[in-house]
Amino acid sequence: MNVANDTNQARTLEGKTILITGGTGSFGRAFTRDLLDEGKAKKIIVFSRDEQKHYQMSQEFNDPRIRFFVGDIRDKKRLQTAFRDVDIVVHSAAMKHVPICEYNPMEAIQTNVDGARNIIEAAIEAGVEQVLGLSTDKAVAPVNLYGASKLCMEKLLIAANAYSGKGGTRFALVRYGNVMGSAGSVIPLFRRQLESGRLTITDERMTRFWIDMPGAVQLVRRGLECMYGGEIFIPKLPTSDITTLAEAIAPNVPRETIGIRPGEKLHETLVSADECARTRDLGDLLVIWPEFSFHDGIPQSKDGTALPPGFIYRSDRPELRLDLEATRAMLKEVA
């Protein structure tokens, strides 16, 4: 998926100090590597509460441009310290495992909702230029606490543009589907189960959007390049059903259907019918514009093409579906 313009990206991030919340996670590590390879950022601050992952990452990267900052987004005072002289914040910290969030709802709210509020307030106080949050298809018409908490996070970051005022911090989001091979993905699960000779399937009808990690990184870069404040940037992604994915990973291996877990959906949605009227098609991605104009920076005439009335971008649409060979080709990109 090509969602980036390298020249504009280099100009956007050149000489900037960039902080990544959840920076020791799968996305944070990939984004840090990408920034280091590009070589334009002045400083990269990895913010995370996991001391062991900080140590492991520092051993792997060992670059003087990186600062490792142990902290929790639940702690506003720690964020205020971390955000000093920061230009850009990429917010990827979250509790994201659906069953764990269902069983520990108070913890999920404190991280995904209260943490977002802390980031907003600390960023405005510190004069951060841009904050870009990472959201998920599960935030659209949510049926589980994880999705509901990410929907709240979206609403908070969009409305934060009103709090920051004209010329203040700008907030926007990217929203995408499952990241292939990331922690909690079904792909590494199936590969582990392949060794035991039996795969577990929740429901054969289930479909999911897929994005690779480089695609997620480039989407974030594109969002930072294009944002005025208040937008949600959504990539155009392929989908697969769970049985095709299982066959591509483990052909002819017996499968057992175990039923949908608490809080799971059969299909995921990236743009709802209610959001359709505010969404524009830019060719390589979709942009949902905010319902209100918070400041003069948002253009009155939106770029791109309007979507058909009632359009829904859902994972069970047949034109998006990968067949077996295409699914196998997609999986080759995942180590």
Which among 16, 138, 150, 265 is annotated as catalytic?
A: 138
190 within a domain of the structure (yes/no): no
Q: What are phi and psi of 250, to 5 degrees?
A: -135, 75
Structure tokens at 287: 């942009």
**How far does Cα 196 stand from its chain's mean position?**
32
Q: CATH code at 119?
A: 3.40.50.720
Q: Which residue has 């404190």 as its token pair?
A: 110
Alpha helix (H) ranges present in the chain?
Answer: 6-13, 26-38, 51-61, 76-82, 98-103, 105-109, 115-126, 145-164, 186-196, 213-226, 242-249, 324-331
20 within a domain of the structure (yes/no): yes
Tell me the mean pLDDT in the region 149-175: 95
User: How many Cβ atoms are within 10 Å of 277's Cβ, its own excluded?
Assistant: 14
How far apart (Å, rounded) are the C-alpha atoms in residues 18 and 31? 11
Cα-Cα end-to-end distance for the chain: 18
247 within a domain of the structure (yes/no): no
315 within a domain of the structure (yes/no): no
Average pLDDT over the chain reads: 91
Our answer to whether residue 138 is catalytic in this structure is yes
Rg of the chain, C-alpha, whole Å? 20
Q: How many domains does the chain have?
A: 1
- Over residues 4-48, the pLDDT tens digits come to 444 445 457 999 999 999 999 999 999 999 999 998 999 999 999
- Say what the pLDDT of residue 260 is: 87
How far apart (Å, rounded) are the C-alpha atoms in residues 83 and 177? 29
251 within a domain of the structure (yes/no): no
With a CB cutoff of 8 Å and minimum separation 6, the contacts of 192 are none
Q: What band does 234 get if pLDDT is binned at 50, 70 and 90?
A: very high
Question: 3-state class of 329 per DSSP?
Answer: helix
- Say what the pLDDT of residue 5 is: 44
- Say what the pLDDT of residue 170 is: 95
204 within a domain of the structure (yes/no): no
324 within a domain of the structure (yes/no): no
- Over residues 145-157, the pLDDT tens digits come to 999 999 999 999 9
With a CB cutoff of 8 Å and minimum separation 6, the contacts of 24 are 46, 48, 50, 53, 54, 56, 57
Range of the domain at 160: 6-178+212-236+271-310
- Say what the pLDDT of residue 3 is: 41
Least confident of 84-93, 152-161, 212-221, 261-270: 261-270
- Say what the pLDDT of residue 335 is: 60
Q: Identify the CA nearest to 87 among candidates 42, 55, 134.
A: 42
How far apart (Å, rounded) are the C-alpha atoms in residues 27 and 57? 13
- Say what the pLDDT of residue 7 is: 45
Query: No. of H helices and E strands in the chain?
Result: 12, 17
- Over residues 40-74, the pLDDT tens digits come to 999 999 999 999 999 999 999 989 999 999 999 99
- Global model pTM greater than 0.85: yes
Structure tokens at 102: 């269902």
260 within a domain of the structure (yes/no): no
Q: Residue 48 region, left (φ>0) first, then alpha (ψ -120 to 50), else beta?
A: beta
Q: What band does 182 get if pLDDT is binned at 50, 70 and 90?
A: confident
